[in-house]
């Protein structure tokens, strides 16, 4: 009986990940697509807006996530952002000419984004959550402080 139950759960999980509509890891094609890069750019801006800092935070490292075909495409992904020497106000005003250097011993955040792209159903929805994962905060028994969640339409 126990074996049958475990086998059923295992097969269900295996088949569920292969069925249309199941979550799939992001592929290189997804990560390099112009559409997805646009969503990453929107998430970067929204995460910076959510942080109470005068500094601009730049994306550092890989993007990890999944996509799911629903009534459109649902992306869930996250990336690290590190504090830079650029000012948030200038970057939000459109200063894209300046190269931002990462501050040594600066703050670090984990930006998690949920994007629902369904052009037939209305505008794209981008929701973000920012968690401070700086070394000082990480040493406090693994507690992570959610800085703010933002929903954009």
Ordered structural domains, the chain, with CATH:
23-152 (3.10.450.10)
Higher pLDDT, 27 or 2: 27
pLDDT of residue 144: 46
CA distance linking residue 38 with residue 74, whole number of Å: 14
Say if residues 60 and 102 touch (Cβ distance below 8 Å): yes
pLDDT of residue 147: 52
The stretches of 20-124 forming alpha helices (DSSP H) are: 28-32, 34-50, 88-92
Whole-prediction pTM value?
0.76
Structure tokens at 91: 């970057």
Residue identified by tokens 């955040």 is 109
**Span 83-126, pLDDT tens digits:** 999 999 999 998 888 899 999 999 999 999 999 999 999 999 99
CA distance linking residue 88 with residue 31, whole number of Å: 26
Say if residues 126 and 152 touch (Cβ distance below 8 Å): yes
**Span 32-63, pLDDT tens digits:** 999 999 999 999 999 999 999 999 999 999 99
pLDDT of residue 83: 97
* Mean pLDDT of all residues in 72-86: 97
Mean pLDDT, all residues of the chain: 84
Q: With 90 as the cut, is the pLDDT of residue 68 above it?
A: yes
């Amino acid at each position: 009986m126990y074996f049958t139950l475990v086998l059923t759960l295992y097969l269900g999980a295996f088949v569920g990940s292969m069925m249309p509509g199941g979550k799939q890891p992001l592929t290189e094609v997804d990560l390099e697509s112009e559409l997805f890069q646009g969503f990453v750019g929107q998430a970067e801006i929204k995460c910076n807006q959510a942080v109470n800092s005068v500094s601009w935070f730049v994306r550092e490292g890989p993007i990890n996530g999944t996509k799911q075909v629903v009534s459109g495409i649902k992306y869930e992904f996250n990336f690290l952002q590190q504090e830079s020497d650029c000012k948030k106000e200038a970057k939000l005003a459109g200063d894209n000419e300046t190269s931002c250097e990462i501050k040594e011993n600066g703050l670090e955040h984990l930006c998690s984004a949920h994007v629902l792209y369904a052009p037939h159903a209305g505008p794209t929805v981008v929701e973000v959550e920012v968690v401070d994962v700086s070394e000082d905060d990480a040493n406090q028994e693994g507690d992570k402080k959610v800085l703010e969640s933002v929903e954009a339409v």
